Structure 1
Amino acid sequence: MNIRQAIKIDLNTIKNITYETIQTIYPHYYPNGAVDFFIQHHSDENISADIDSGKVFILEIDKKAVGTVTINGIEICRLFVLPHCQGKGYGGALIDFSENYISKNSKKVQLDASLPAKGIYLKRGYKEIESHSILTQNGDYLYYDVMEKNLNLPSMMLNYDGKTFIPKINTENGEVDNKTIFNYHQNENVVWAEYIGGDIIRGNIIGTVSEKGVLDFYYQHINKQGQQRIGKCHSVPQVLENGKLELREEWQWLNGDNSRGSSIIVEL
């Protein structure tokens, strides 16, 4: 996964991502007049102006563009992920990237939330501050909410729900490796995960996340030798420049030799 700044030749790519997403997803939530309004709003002229101002970014997977976001001051705008690529954490990665980018100069972030995306933003700690409606040309109404999030609250900055991680580094007494996949979930301050692969037949994690996004959890798994292993872990997050998370972990086995170790896992 790579997030880079868009340049002039990316105009058609950004248009295609934007229009395909609107035309596929929005008719399930809005009448035709509102859908047409969205298309007209994201015109060549508006997108080009944002590219020229250095506000537009593209998310690429294997050098293929699958998502885009525009950052205008403290506002997250024009955030779209191709419909067939949704549900894989790419939208979350763009939000993480945008929040981290904005946090360098502001303690809050705002956005206009369309109906399809409102639930996602609520889960990430955004609050409604205004509601608006626009009368479109054929008499249909477009409804949206202005939402805001306070970035000086670390607990709001990270959300692990739907994120996937793989180990990057592990000490010799550890049992997970770069073939082990961790799938994380979060509800408020409770975090849990499943992991499998490499030497692990099946494993589970359950714990809590602090106001600074730090994880403290217990883990248990069965390895290919048929052993049941149990341990505890303290995991500190870092947001990388590409918007992905890296977790630096200190852990200890609670059975067997009770040894300690450290690892780093990275978001896919």
Structure 2
Amino acid sequence: MPSPFSLQGKVGIVTGLANENSIAFGCAQALHDAGAEMLVSYASPRHERFVMPLAKDMGYPEMHLCDVQDDEQLEALFARARERWGRLDFVIHSIAFAPLADLHGRIVDCSREGFQLAMDVSCHSFLRMARHAEPLMTDGGTLLCMSYQGAERAVDHYGLMGPVKAALESACRYLATELGPKGIRVHAVSAGPIPTRAASGLKDFDELARHSEAHAPLQRLVKVRDVGNAVVYLASPAGSSTTGTTHYIDAGEHIRY
């Protein structure tokens, strides 16, 4: 009997690769090791020199440029999945952005434009991906996005991204409800502080990480591969009875005040 954690024969899309510190990289590595095939996307041509050398560790997936604000590029990514496989089993959304001026300032002072941009890139793009994925998940599937505990509590220096991630987690619950009858499961994965490209924009990130490490019951930080391993579980048959959750991979920090 095959392992319930095996993804042999499963196919999907991983978005948001920027460099070796990207959560998307840990996810793609783990998914490949579990037997999956995938398309992997990155947002800008300037990332190519960082992402192309990572192909070997991800099983040489097809790499695609995809700025999620460019509707044609997003449509082309899913069209390629349809052309290659005719279906999808999983989609990983690992994308977040907010203008630094709005991210570093007070919530009450954030600009309308900055708030709209952060919501569009970090939250609504997940809904757009779900819309493209739904007709390809004819036998069910799994949609996953990345969050942080700043979605549910006020974390110093997380600022604008807190409300944005709260909206993303809420969107997961509604998507899970709407798509569940088709066998499509939806989860948010709430990771502890990881020095990703997106996290580098947070003010005093190093202080945030030190506090997390000291405060977490396991007294350590998590790695991108830890997140990837959780994604494998959620996307595999082992996670087939789960949906609509926020799954914490943070060394237990979220349980402490």
Q: Same fold (TM over 0.5)?
A: no
Structure with the larger helix share? 2
Structure with the larger strand share? 1
Which protein is bigger by CA-based radius of gyration? Answer: 1
Bin for the TM-score computed over the shorter chain: under 0.3
Q: Which has the higher contact order (CA 8 A, sep 6+)?
A: 2
State the TM-score, normalizing by the size of structure 2.
Answer: 0.25
